[in-house]
Amino acid sequence: MVAGWFAGDGEDFRLLGTRCSACTSVFFPREDSHCRNPGCPGGDLEEVPLSRRGHVWSFTDGRYRPPSPYVSDPELPWEPYTLIAVELPSERLVVLGQAAPGVTVADLAVGMEVEVVPGVLHEDAGTTWTTWQWRPTEVTA
Amino acid sequence: MTQDVAVLGAGMHPWGKWGRSFVEYGAAAARAALADAGLEWRDIGSIVGADTVRGGYPGYVAGATFAKALGWQGARVASVYAACASGAQAVNTARAQILSGLADVVLVVGADAAPKGFFRPAGGDRPDDPDWLRFRVLGATNPTYFGLYARRRMAVHGETPEDYAQVKVKNSAWGALNPYARYRKPVTAEEVAASAVVADPLRLLDICATSDGGAALVLAGLEFARRHGVTNPVRIRAVSTVTPRYPNTVLDLPDIATDSAVAVQPAAHTFRESIAHAAYEEAGIGPEDLSFAEVYDLSTALELQWYEDLGLCGEGEAVKLLREGATAVGGRIPVNASGGLASFGEAVPAQAIAQVCELTWQLRDAAGDRQVDGARVGIAANQGLFGHGSAVVAVR
């Protein structure tokens, strides 16, 4: 779906951002054309893996089917998904993502530690669209 | 500080789901504003349209579309798009033309025919568009962002869903008194609590609907107003159209992530605070001077956020302001006496203009049963997707 936003398997799975060589600003989703810090003379933007773990900034869910371009099977009953916004302490930014399957709002609290894991956005006959998901570090399932 | 411009006329088409073209709503609102101003369409030297992007091709050229509907008469024309801030940018464009001497009197029009259900991005595969990406990759609708903000406020400030319900109760009571509002029935806290959860912790009645609607203003220079026999008009004293400052560290629609604060400390004001701050600076007033405020209550919880961003109270104190009734009828600083988006719903290019219509009627002491006693200074605050600030200060 989106090229170069994440890479790796299992424990090595990471979100990928970019970092400005001049001012150290980090960007996610990756910024490849120019540093967006208005006080920066502009440096090279280098790919950088983001922290694997962070803390829940907030969370919610989607009880109604989102419209296109979100892909879901209209033949199946809607299964609410959970969204988690996560503060990454070393990068000092907040990244939104879907929660891992089975994680509901009842499992979450602001400030809780979560980690990024690989996930599947949807599949059809020919393709599996992969994504990143957030999962509380205390959940092992 | 800039000079004031006069509001000579304000008009609306009632909001609802009418199933007609946005052109019809805009033309009706424009005619109402012209009649209110006591002017003919042919007296108007310039028309500024706030664009809709859901009306198909005509929506992108709203100024000329409304001019054609009213009858071509050769007026100067402009069309502006700034998402939910389109209306404020249209007001600002008109003001700039008046203050620079390009036009004496300008008609500002915004109207929309909104889709049913969630707003969605324009069609096609557009992975370079953050609005397309948040739907495609996350299924993140507007209400899911409202849910994130609400849950965050609950965790940080100790607010409850019952507090949020009281915002709806307050705004719906006013909306019931507004002939232009879509929803004209007072809502109880029990009804909010019984409505379906859309995005935890927010329920259907915590979230504004999508609506059809139109709003228009006739703006003029003070000299034109005097010549026209209006010696004490409602005046627009400030229009804030600021962008955020890097790093923008509050997760904002439609973004998937915030800017990083690793290299640059965030500015003293968040983006929403800076929208109000710029308006206050330009108007030469502070929040203590306000008689009332119209804020962009996409959700009940977001209205509380605006109390703090407008400086009506300190950070975390919005719920206290709500609970003590300061923002309700007869309170120290009534908020959304129009009924707000809670009662109107969103008609994107019209809503910032509709806010200024309410400022106008309140400042003329012409708001009927929802009149704020002694209204002298009002602010309308709004925010447009992709970093469009929007606030208007009007005085009498």
Which tens digits make up the pLDDT trace of A34-86? 999 999 999 999 999 999 999 999 999 999 999 999 999 999 999 999 999 99
Q: How far apart are CA B252 and CA A133, in angstroms?
A: 19
Q: Which is higher by pLDDT, B56 or B339?
A: B339
**Cα angle: B208, vertex B210, B214; to 5 degrees:** 110
Between chain A and chain B, the number of residue pairs with CB atoms below 8 A apart is: 149
Which chain B residues have a beta carbon less than 8 Å from that of A68? 120, 135
ipTM of the complex: 0.96
Instruction: Band the pLDDT of B105: cuts 50, 70, 90.
Output: very high
The alpha carbon of residue A95 and the mean position of all alpha carbons in its chain are separated, in whole angstroms, by: 6
> Where does the pLDDT of residue A3 fall: very low under 50, low under 70, confident under 90, or very high at 90 and above?
confident
Entry field: residues in chain B: 396
State both tokens at A10: 């299992």
Nearest to A27 among B155, B201, B260 (CB): B260
Does residue B1 have a pLDDT over 70? no
Minimum Cα–Cα distance from A30: chain B residue: B257
Average pLDDT over residues B369-393: 96
pLDDT digits (tens, 9 = 90+) for B239-295: 999 999 999 999 999 999 999 999 999 999 999 999 999 999 999 999 999 999 999
Which chain A residue lies closest to B123 (C-alpha atoms)? Answer: A69
Domain locations in chain B?
A: 5-117+212-235, 130-205+237-395
Confidence category of residue A140, pLDDT binned at 50, 70, 90: low
* pLDDT tens digit sequence for B146-192: 999 999 999 999 999 999 999 999 999 999 999 999 999 999 999 99
Chain A residues with CB inside 8 Å of B138's CB? 70, 83, 96-98
| Nearest residue in chain B measured CA to CA from A2 | B127
Residue percentage of chain A with pLDDT more than 70: 97
CB A29 to CB B258 under 8 A? Answer: no
Cβ–Cβ below 8 Å for A23 and B263: yes
Confidence at residue A139, expressed as pLDDT on a 0 to 100 scale: 57
Closest to A62 (Cβ–Cβ): which among B155, B199, B256?
A: B199
Task: Give the chain B residue nearest A28 (alpha carbons).
Answer: B257
* DSSP per-residue string spanning B214-283: EEEEEEE-HHHHHHTT-SS-EEEEEEE-PPP-SS--S--TT-SBPPP-SSSPPPSS-HHHHHHHHHHHHH
User: Which residue from A minimizes the CA distance to B137?
Assistant: A70
Q: Using the beta-carbon criterion (under 8 Å), do A93 and B135 form an inter-chain contact?
A: no
Pick B130-205+237-395's CATH classification: 1.10.10.10, 3.40.50.720, 3.40.47.10, 1.20.1740.10: 3.40.47.10
CB pair distance less than 8 Å for B259 and A36: yes
Interface test with B, best of A5, A27, A63, A73 (most B CBs within 10 A): A63
User: Cβ separation of A96 and B256 shorter than 8 Å?
Assistant: yes
Task: Provide CATH code, domain B5-117+212-235.
Answer: 3.40.47.10
Min Cα distance B63 → chain A (Å) is: 30
User: Is A96–B140 a contact, with Cβ atoms under 8 angstroms apart?
Assistant: yes
Inter-chain residue contact A94 with B196, CB threshold 8 Å = no
- Domain ranges for chain A: 6-136
Q: Single out the residue of A129, A13, A94, A30 nearest to residue B250, CA to CA.
A: A94
Instruction: Choose among B133, B202, B257: nearest Cβ to A93.
Output: B257
B155 contact residues in A (CB cutoff 8 A): 58, 109-111
